[in-house]
């Protein structure tokens, strides 16, 4: 299968940025129903959002969130996010060009990592999981919502068959399951729920254990 690169991601999302919000409105209405709101509701404290994209989560963070730092590889997506922040006068947010697989952040400096529909696009998901583990404080949480392989064998086989084409066209892995990558990075999985058509929508909570037994 074609191995994607950061250049592939940048090219694909710069190209499709203009249509992204419209596509997501459709996707969330018919497929991911409520998953974004669920993910954002789990965030607290100092939040790192990887693949912040056009910033659709930014207006949704609640009062339990002190600050959000968002990273993305696509400048075109970031430009839309910056416009959203300015238009809606959203405070507590900083946006940066940056790579989820190698973040310019100190270790143990965040309470929450959040990835909404980003994990399927990251070229090296284990590297991104390890970065999240490094940057989270002990007791911190990684919240993910994602689309992935169906729970139905026939649908799963069909998805596997068309995945190489989708990867080439839009740099997205449509059968990726984030759980093994998170476990490989050291996370404890505390919740996995599947929903949406064919069970393709994942809602995942993963915790960085606190050896001292604190929060």
Which positions touch ligand SAM (CB under 6 A)? 9, 13, 24, 50-53, 56-57, 71-74, 77, 99-101, 116-118, 121-122
Rounded distance, CA 175 to CA 38, Å?
22
SS3 107: coil
Residue 125 vs 140, nearer CB to ligand SAM: 125
Look up residue 161 and give its two tokens: 């068959």
Shortest Cβ distance from residue 134 to ligand SAM (Å)?
15
Which residue, among 139, 128, 135, 137, has the nearest Cα to 178 in the 3D structure? 128
Shortest Cβ distance from residue 86 to ligand SAM (Å)?
18
Residue 77 vs 182, nearer CB to ligand SAM: 77
Shortest Cβ distance from residue 97 to ligand SAM (Å)?
9
Rounded distance, CA 50 to CA 34, Å?
19
Residues 36 and 21: beta-carbon distance below 8 Å: no
Residue 119 vs 187, nearer CB to ligand SAM: 119
- Residues facing 99 on adjacent strands: 102
Residue 55 vs 140, nearer CB to ligand SAM: 55
Instruction: Tell me whether residue 179 is exposed, middle or buried, using C-beta atoms within 10 angstroms of its C-beta: 0 to 12, 13 to 18, 19 or more.
Output: middle
Residue 81 vs 198, nearer CB to ligand SAM: 81
Shortest Cβ distance from residue 206 to ligand SAM (Å)?
17
Shortest Cβ distance from residue 55 to ligand SAM (Å)?
8
Element (DSSP H or E) covering residue 207: strand 201-207
């Amino acid at each position: 299968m074609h191995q994607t690169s950061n250049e592939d991601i940048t090219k694909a999302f710069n190209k499709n940025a203009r249509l992204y919000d419209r596509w997501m409105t459709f996707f969330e209405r018919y497929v991911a129903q409520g998953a974004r709101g669920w993910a954002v509701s789990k965030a607290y404290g100092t939040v790192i959002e990887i693949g912040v994209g056009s910033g659709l989560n930014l207006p949704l963070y609640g009062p339990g969130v002190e600050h959000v730092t968002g990273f993305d590889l696509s400048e075109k997506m970031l430009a839309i996010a910056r416009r959203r922040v300015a238009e809606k006068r959203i405070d507590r947010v900083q946006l940066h060009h940056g790579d989820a697989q190698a973040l310019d952040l100190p270790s143990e400096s965040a309470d929450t990592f959040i990835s909404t529909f980003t994990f399927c696009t990251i070229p090296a998901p284990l590297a991104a999981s390890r970065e999240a583990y490094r940057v989270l404080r002990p007791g911190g949480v990684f919240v993910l919502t994602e689309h992935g392989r169906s729970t139905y064998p026939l649908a799963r086989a069909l998805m596997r068959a068309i995945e190489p084409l989708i990867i080439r066209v839009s740099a997205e892995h449509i059968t990726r399951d984030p759980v093994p990558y998170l476990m490989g990075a050291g996370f404890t999985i505390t919740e996995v729920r599947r929903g949406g058509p064919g069970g393709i929508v994942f809602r995942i909570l993963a915790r960085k254990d606190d050896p001292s037994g604190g929060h």
